[in-house]
Amino acid sequence: MTRLMKTAVEHFPIAGSFTISRGSKTTASVVTCHVSDGGFAGIGECVPYARYGETIDSVLAEIETIRTQIEAGIDRQTLREAMKAGAARNAVDCALWDLEAKQTGNRAFTLARLSEPAALTTAYTISLGEPEAMAAQTAQYAHRALLKVKVGTTDDASRIRAVRAAAPKSAIILDANEGWTDDNLAYHFAVCAESGVSLIEQPLPAGRDGLLASVHRPVPVCADESVHKTEDLPKLAGLYDAVNIKLDKTGGLTEALRMRDAARVLNLQIMVGCMVGTSLGMAPAVLLAQGADFVDLDGPLLLARDREPGLRYEDSLVFPPLPALWG
């Protein structure tokens, strides 16, 4: 099968700014991969992430190294062996899913042997800031069922309490983005328990996970930066209660489905998350997130503009993608 591949870079302004413990940004830059067979074209999107040593240029270069194999008809399983986990493989993998759906006339969820997807309750992200600013932002979204709150400073107690006071009825995921330390971990855990936090995401830097074995965890703890592929899971079982599966980390839907199944065998809860990207990047993750314990697919809601057509969001719900978008 002869194919043609092309890549593109697109920039989408963020509504305001997006701030975590590692910094702020005002633009979401994404890479798309298009794979066509002359009659049909599939597309996938990824978000290069500096935390993992990725840039726009490095992702484009990585995709380019496998152009010959892609155009010669590589399948998703061979792709998984030919490219490492990460954003570049995600864009190619999702393009191949989309291409096969169009070639066969089957939806991607059918190809993945999944049930027809339903709408999901997704988190909405509150950026890191001073407690008063975070409380004010939270108050605007206190009607949402689930909030994901960015923290990760040496003293987050006032932020946690301010957000909880501003959204007394919302379930809260707290994301420290590796920002806590050995010295303040137990204190922050206690404040989270006092404030009724539902989940704490990646409190310690990746590689420091072992400390979680020796500290009381009154609130479930989820690995994010510490988990990228299925082979990472065994060493995290017992330290974490959940894992955050993101397509840009796993390198696509193919590996993400494999990781989800393996995590369940290890009795780890499933969170499906995202980088700040468009509806195209979220669409395959909606399939992955069916049946997940926590869903955080609000990337398009953080943008000043999204793709057309995009995913449908209604209150706290995100709906499955239409074929015109992906899959």
146 and 169 belong to one structural domain: yes
**What order do you get walking across the sheet with 23-36 strand by strand?**
4-20, 23-36, 41-46
Q: Which of 44, 76, 111 is the last residue of a domain?
A: 111
Mean pLDDT by 10 residues, the chain (327 residues): 93 87 85 96 97 96 98 97 98 98 98 97 96 97 97 94 98 96 96 98 96 95 96 96 98 98 98 97 98 97 96 97 97
Asked whether residue 327 is domain-assigned, the answer is: no
pLDDT value of residue 2 = 86
> Are 159 and 186 contained in the same domain?
yes
Within-domain flag for 326: no
Is the CB of residue 129 less than 8 Å from the CB of residue 156? no
Nearest to 123 by CA among 189, 198, 194, 51: 198
Question: Based on the domain organization, do 161 and 273 belong to the same domain?
Answer: yes
Q: Give catalytic residue positions.
A: 150, 246
Same domain, 286 and 139: yes
| Domain boundaries, position 37 | 4-111
* 38 and 133 share one domain: no
Q: Give CA 156 to chain center in angstroms.
A: 23
Enter the tokens of residue 269.
């809860």
Residues constituting the chain:
327
Question: Do both 138 and 106 map to the same domain?
Answer: no
Asked if 127 and 95 sit in the same domain, the reply is no
Q: Is the peptide bond before 309 cis (omega within 30 degrees of 0)?
A: yes
pLDDT at 52: 94
**How is the beta sheet containing 313-314 ordered, strand by strand?**
120-121, 317-318, 313-314
Residues 103 and 126 in one domain: no
Q: Are 35 and 4 in contact (CB under 8 A)?
A: yes
Token pair listed for 259: 């990781």
C-alpha 10/C-alpha 301 separation (Å) is 17
| pLDDT given for residue 19 in this prediction | 80
Point out which residues pair with 18 in neighbouring strands. Answer: 25
Output the 3-class SS for 8-40: EEEEEEEEEEEEECCEEEEEEEEEEEEEECCCC
User: What are residue 58's phi and psi, to 5 degrees?
Assistant: -70, -35
Q: What is the CATH number for 104?
A: 3.30.390.10
Do 91 and 175 lie in one domain? The reply is no
Q: Is the domain of 240 the same as that of 137?
A: yes
Please check whether residues 155 and 245 belong to one and the same domain.
Answer: yes
Q: At residue 147, what are phi and psi to the nearest 5 degrees?
A: -120, 145
Residue 204 counted as domain residue: yes
The CATH number covering residue 206 comes to: 3.20.20.120
Number of domains, the chain: 2
Q: Do 190 and 99 share a structural domain?
A: no
